[in-house]
Amino acid sequence: MYSRKRRRKLQFLITAGGTREYIDPVRFISNASSGKMGYELARSALLAGHNVMLITAPTNLNAPKEAGVVEVESANDMFEAVKDKFGGCDCLIMTAAVSDYAPAKPARHKIKKSPGTITLKLKPTHDILKWAGTHKKQNQVVVGFALEDRNIKAGAERKMRDKNLDMIIANTPAAIGSERCEIWIKKAGQEWHRFADAPKKHIANRLIRLIEKSMRVD
């Protein structure tokens, strides 16, 4: 159980859900992220007595009533929201599955079906984590998630270095849309630590405790 009296209150900025990048007014590129991990982290942080600002892409979940909420849709929307809120947070946790690419020129009208093939040109979206890692203040902590389907730790470590993160959490595609997950955690300058398969609620509680400890919250 958490003890509110013993913990210094932190301001958490948490992103969740899968962004949507529109091809035309009715079709979009997205992913299968449920947003559950981010929402559970928000609840755990609130239960620990902290403040939470939740930036959420579309999900079927109900946000905690005590959290501040910013609803976004695209990767660019999320980037602008993170930039706006980042300066006021102690810890950013990027659990959102942000699209790496977006249509270069979305169609203004619905694309009609035709017998031939079509080519969809994509452009990179903003790298939100890298921006945060570059612009963080000395006392801010930036936590990223890395979903890897092979060479899990190596890929996550590369992401951690490239984006100047304080902590990386690695998982596999099995976590997408699931009620449970198994994760690997690495803090800067330390060894990997594994959280065995468990409900995301329990994983979230342990992660918040770990972040509190790393930030020396008493």
pLDDT tens digits, 156-201? 999 999 999 999 999 998 888 889 999 999 999 899 999 999 999 9
The whole-number average pLDDT for the span 41-65 is: 97
- Taking only Cα atoms into account, the Rg of the chain, rounded to an integer number of angstroms, comes to 18
Whether this model's pTM surpasses 0.85: yes
Q: SS3 for 205? A: helix
Q: Is residue 118 part of a domain?
A: no
Report the number of distinct structural domains present in the chain: 1
The residue with greater pLDDT, 105 or 176, is 105
Q: Is residue 83 part of a domain?
A: yes
Q: Is residue 57 part of a domain?
A: yes
Q: Could you give phi then psi for residue 159, rounded to 5 degrees?
A: -65, -40
Q: Is residue 160 part of a domain?
A: yes
Active site residue 31: yes
Containing domain of residue 48, as a range?
A: 7-101+123-214
* pLDDT for residue 217: 67
Q: Is residue 114 part of a domain?
A: no
Here the CATH number for the domain that contains residue 193 is 3.40.50.10300
Q: Is residue 110 part of a domain?
A: no
Q: Is residue 71 part of a domain?
A: yes
The residue with greater pLDDT, 138 or 94, is 94
Q: Which of 31, 51, 76, 164 is catalytic?
A: 31
In percent, how much of the chain has pLDDT > 90?
Answer: 87
* pLDDT for residue 176: 87
Q: Is residue 189 part of a domain?
A: yes
